[in-house]
Amino acid sequence: MIVARVIGTVVCTQKDARLGGHKLQVVEPVAMASQKSDGKPLVAIDTVGAGLGEIVLVVSGSSARQTDATTGTPVDAVIMGIVDSIDLDGQRVFEKG
């Protein structure tokens, strides 16, 4: 799993029919401890209704096709969780809100 921040959206008027009804979000991997940028942005299918700026959990590769919403869908990355908090070594390093 990848911890990432939602930084934008992608709109496609023409796309594979199996992607119909799915929101495409641009996510940027972040370091868990600091939530600072830690990688190249990528496009992910949003299965949980994440919003701009939220910290999310992303799965990629074959795992991306294992959710109820993406089985049999041509996807390589899926937002499958919105992070409420992150604790590392007994310290809270992130809390939503």
**Domain covering 2-95, topology:** OB fold (Dihydrolipoamide Acetyltransferase, E2P) (2.40.50)
Sequence ranges of the domains in the chain? 2-95
CA 37 – CA 22 distance, rounded (Å): 25
What SS3 class is residue 86? Answer: strand
| 93 class by beta-carbon count within 10 Å (0-12 exposed, 13-18 middle, 19+ buried) | middle
Question: pLDDT tens digits for 24-74?
Answer: 999 999 999 999 999 999 999 999 999 999 999 999 877 767 777 777 777
pLDDT at 7: 98
